[in-house]
Amino acid sequence: MGAGLWASIRTAEASGGLTPGDAALLRFPAALELLEADFWIQYNELGGIQDSEVPGGTGNPDYTEALAALDEDMDQYIHDNTDDEITHHTFLNAYLVSKGAAPANLDPFRTLMGSTATGVNPNLIGHRLTNLTQLTVDTSWWTRYRDDRHNPDFNPNHVFPQAVPTLGVNQHTAIPRTDADTTDPNFLQAIANTAGFHFPTIEQGGNSLYPSLAQRATDVEVLRILISIGPTETMHFQTWSDKAGNAPPLTAVDPVTGVSVTFPDLDVSNELFKKNLIMPEPCPFLSRNLPIVSIIRPTNTEGVATGALAFLTAMGLFIGQSAAFFNYMKQLAQDADAAERECS
């Protein structure tokens, strides 16, 4: 959005400033939503529906077909998730500006190459914020939401088993890097499966982030924003966790890196891994003296923003980014974590 629009928003809507803490609580998720929109746009260009709502790509038929093995509506879901993330960062930044606060701005860091395969927007090659071609995907959320005995808020050192252990090591691409990646149907399906598990891995992060940050808000309107956007991330998470379970079992070797990945058959009786148990199992909350309850977890507020940034960094989403990018994101995270609710 241009400076003129920011100025008009400020003139039209300014109705009192935010505390520095409340501004930080919105600016950090605004930055994360910019990052989310960037990689969802890449997914949509290749595997989503192309229309005026989410323009720019032309689609990759082979990749789209591989994604459809998880669900025939994957292209629609990818499109709608992309649209949602764009609206999130647009709204959060506009709200910050309307209150006289600085928005999150990642434009100087749009330097990553991304895919050159058929379907991408050629104008954005070399201008991405995120890297979807070297991911290490932590799938422990799969068992964390099926485990009725452990909550990371109580057991931060408990190791939840991975749904796809080989995705949690080495680096994997979730999009075809070039058209060469679409020539082997088995490897292309592995790429689509990787995307299928990356989708919920990302969304479960927002699932926890928003309610965690909301507990530090001072202004009731800031609280309202955080608890209104957060549940949409939960809707994304459950949708994608359902689709991930449909990933076809296979083993494939990346012809470029030599890295192997194995997607197991999750149609099993073991409730920690059974694919259709997508409702959050009850777990301990607040006190082990209280009954277990079905909740979002974790929602502890301490270090949540820096933790979210560390999680995304370890995933490989920012491989190739500059030191200035990491410094900027680290400062936003630290500011959000330093926010404290002020009593009137």
pLDDT digits (tens, 9 = 90+) for 90-132: 999 999 999 999 999 999 999 999 999 999 999 999 999 999 9
Which tokens go with 81?
């998730």
Q: Give 6's pLDDT tier (boundaries 50, 70, 90).
A: very low
Q: Give 343's pLDDT tier (boundaries 50, 70, 90).
A: confident
Indicate if the pLDDT at residue 1 is higher than 80.
no
| Rounded Cα–Cα distance for residues 145 and 235 (Å) | 14
- Listing DSSP states for 275-336 in one string gives TT--SPPPB-BSBTTSPPB---S----TTHHHHHHHHHHHTTTTTT--HHHHHHHHHHHHHH
Percent of the chain surpassing pLDDT 90: 94
Could you report the per-residue pLDDT of 161-191, keeping only the tens digit for each? Answer: 999 999 999 999 999 999 999 999 999 999 9
| Rounded Cα–Cα distance for residues 215 and 160 (Å) | 26
Instruction: Give the pLDDT of residue 16.
Output: 61
71 DSSP assignment? -
Instruction: Give the pLDDT of residue 4.
Output: 45
Q: Average pLDDT of 300-315?
A: 97
Q: Average pLDDT of 330-339?
A: 98
Q: Say which range, 3-12, 140-149, 329-338, has the weakest mean pLDDT.
A: 3-12
- 3-state helix vs strand vs coil in the chain, percent to 5: 50, 5, 45
Q: Give 8's pLDDT tier (boundaries 50, 70, 90).
A: very low
Q: Average pLDDT of 283-312?
A: 96
Instruction: Give the pLDDT of residue 344.
Output: 62
Q: Average pLDDT of 234-251?
A: 98
Partners of 262 in the β-ladder? 251
Instruction: Give the pLDDT of residue 318.
Output: 98
Indicate if the pLDDT at residue 323 is higher than 50.
yes
User: Chain-wide mean pLDDT for the chain?
Assistant: 95
Q: Give 288's pLDDT tier (boundaries 50, 70, 90).
A: very high
Q: Say which range, 15-29, 119-133, 219-233, has the weakest mean pLDDT.
A: 15-29
Q: Give 342's pLDDT tier (boundaries 50, 70, 90).
A: confident
Q: Average pLDDT of 259-278?
A: 96
- Which residue is listed with tokens 């966790």? 241
C-alpha 7: how far from chain center: 30
